[in-house]
């Protein structure tokens, strides 16, 4: 005998755990027995849209509304589904229908604030977030959302204050730490931003957006990079690279920036390895971060050893190859801190190609190939930036509305 209440409770837990296929199976089992169970249809819509099946998700949410048009939850779920697939107008319509039936639901006000923020209607988004907070003032996610709105409006102090308040409300929230980092990054504190992004990754190692933001924060700690970033905006993006043949001194600036980034990545690796091995902090960092730090430290040691061997043997190719091995730290760290799985695969492939080239330069006795590999390793900061931008653009282009 199926107990609907138990199935709904179990499915809700599975959704929160992101075990979406298991939640779908539970809900379909209930619907096989009670095909007009409103909550099961609505929750199934959530499980489907989060699995990337928008057409069926819309169908289930509309079925829930058909069965219970005077109940706010199906309208709320429809708003979530439409927001997820980028139909903001339909999302707002569904949300407003839900609020008309129950204006005292903080999560619905939060959803409305998110949709309005997506449409760049910042003041309306802030109003919706405040309406939600009036109902649930201890909601850390709502406070984080209000902080993001302040960031979008360019309001530095309110953004920092709201983000810090969100962290105080829920110190274990990865979202709260991410938002605090975004606020610090947006208003000129990249060092504090990096600390927040590290904490985000400690709490949720799979939080990919934090990886790329950490890269940005670490780069912006470099004063030359900050100047270059501002200049690049005035000179038409990456077109500044086209000026290198006309302005040779810029080459030295780019090399210096790359070297400073390499030094920062080495320092990051040493710090992470020390925290991983420390008795009091060894449980805070594990997995990819620890392995990446170990690999990078080993690359520095191995590269220095090969460099010393080359000097001792009087072989320029071997010594240059040692330098090139050390520059692989930049390539490994840039790959590891790329949010997109496809981007990581591309950059790890690039790193492997550099490693093969370095080994080949030694085998063939080609100092020039080893030197070019060293330059390419250091220059991975720009290769990685290009890969991230390309993949981000393609991802945005694939978001198409349903017909």
Find the angle CA(17)-CA(107)-CA(26) to the nearest 5 degrees. Answer: 35
- Residue 132 is predicted with a pLDDT of 95
Domain at 120-221: CATH code = 1.25.40.10
Is it true that 1-102 and 120-221 share their CATH fold? yes
- Give the pair of three-digit tokens for residue 276: 């991983």
Q: What is the pLDDT of residue 301?
A: 94
Give residues with Cβ within 8 angstroms of 135, minimum separation 6. Answer: 104, 105, 106, 109
pLDDT value of position 397: 40
pLDDT for 54:
92
Kindly report each contact of residues 388-391 with a partner whose C-beta sits within 8 Å and lies 24 or more positions away, as own/partner: 388/212, 388/338, 388/339, 388/340, 388/343, 391/340, 391/342, 391/343
Query: What is the structure's pLDDT at 385?
Result: 83
- Phi and psi based region of residue 254 (left: phi greater than 0; alpha: psi -120 to 50; beta: remaining): alpha
Distances in Å between the Cα of 21 and the Cα atoms of 18, 46, 123 are: 9, 11, 38
Return the pLDDT at 227: 57
- The tokens describing 263, both together, are 């030094």
- Determine the angle formed by the axes of helices 288-313 and 316-336, rounding to 10 degrees: 170
| Chain centroid offset of residue 122 CA | 22
Q: Residue 278: its pLDDT value, please?
A: 60
For tokens 């799979």, what's the residue?
Answer: 206
Answer yes or no: are the C-beta atoms of 373 and 358 closer than 8 Å. Answer: yes
Which are the contacts of 358, defined by CB distance < 8 A and separation ≥ 6?
321, 324, 325, 328, 370, 373
CB 90 within 8 A of CB 72: no
* Domains of the chain by residue range: 1-102, 120-221, 228-403
Model pTM above 0.75: no
Terminal Cα-to-Cα distance of the chain (whole angstroms):
40
State whether the Cα torsion 114-115-116-118 is positive or negative: positive
List Cβ<8 Å contacts ≥24 apart for 245-253: 253/224, 253/228
* pLDDT attached to residue 235: 37
Which pLDDT does position 213 carry in this prediction?
85
What local confidence, expressed as pLDDT, does residue 87 receive?
92
The span from the CA of 243 to the CA of 253, in Å, is 12
Res 396: pLDDT: 43
Considering the segment(s) 1-102 as one domain, its CATH architecture is Alpha Horseshoe (1.25)
Residues of the chain short of pLDDT 70, as ranges, are: 1, 222-251, 275-276, 278-287, 392-403
DSSP letters for 284-331: TS-THHHHHHHHHHHHHHHHHHHHHHHHHHT-HHHHHHHHHHHHHHHH
Kindly calculate the radius of gyration of the chain based on its CA atoms and give it in whole angstroms.
Answer: 26
């Amino acid at each position: 005998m199926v107990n609907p209440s138990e199935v709904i409770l179990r499915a809700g837990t599975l959704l929160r755990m992101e075990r979406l296929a298991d939640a779908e199976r539970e809900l379909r089992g209930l619907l096989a027995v009670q095909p007009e169970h409103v909550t099961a249809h609505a929750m199934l819509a959530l499980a489907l849209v989060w699995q990337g099946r928008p057409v069926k998700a819309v169908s289930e949410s509309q079925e829930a509304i058909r069965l219970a048009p005077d109940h706010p939850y199906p309208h709320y779920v429809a708003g979530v589904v439409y927001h997820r697939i980028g139909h903001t107008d339909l999302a707002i319509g569904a949300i407003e229908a839900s609020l008309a039936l129950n204006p005292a639901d903080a999560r619905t006000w939060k959803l409305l604030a998110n949709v309005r923020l997506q449409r760049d209607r910042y003041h309306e988004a802030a109003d919706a977030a405040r309406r939600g907070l009036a109902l649930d003032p201890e909601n850390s996610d709502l406070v984080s959302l209000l902080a993001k709105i302040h960031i979008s409006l360019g309001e530095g102090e309110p953004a920092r204050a709201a983000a810090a308040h969100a962290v105080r409300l829920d110190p274990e929230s990865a979202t709260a730490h991410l938002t605090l980092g975004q606020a610090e990054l947006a208003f000129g504190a990249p060092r504090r931003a990096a600390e927040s992004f590290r904490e985000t990754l400690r709490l949720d190692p799979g939080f990919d957006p934090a990886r790329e933001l950490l890269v940005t924060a670490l780069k912006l700690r470099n004063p030359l990079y900050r100047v270059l970033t501002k200049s690049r905006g005035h000179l038409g993006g990456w077109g500044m690279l086209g000026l290198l043949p006309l302005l040779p001194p810029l080459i030295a600036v780019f090399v210096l920036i790359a070297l400073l980034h390499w030094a920062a990545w080495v320092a990051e690796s040493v710090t992470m390895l020390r925290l991983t091995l420390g008795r009091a902090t060894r449980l805070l960092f594990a997995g990819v971060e620890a392995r990446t730090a170990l690999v990078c430290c080993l690359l520095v040691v191995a590269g220095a050893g090969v460099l010393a061997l080359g000097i001792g043997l009087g072989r320029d190719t071997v010594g240059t190859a040692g330098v090139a091995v050390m520059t692989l730290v930049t390539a490994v760290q840039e790959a590891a801190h790329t949010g997109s799985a496809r981007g990581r695969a591309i950059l790890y492939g690039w790193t492997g190609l550099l490693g093969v080239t370095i080994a080949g330069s030694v085998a063939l006795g080609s100092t020039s190939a080893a030197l070019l590999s060293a330059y390419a390793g250091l220059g991975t900061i720009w290769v990685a930036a290009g890969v991230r931008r390309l993949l981000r653009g393609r991802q945005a282009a694939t978001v198409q509305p349903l017909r």
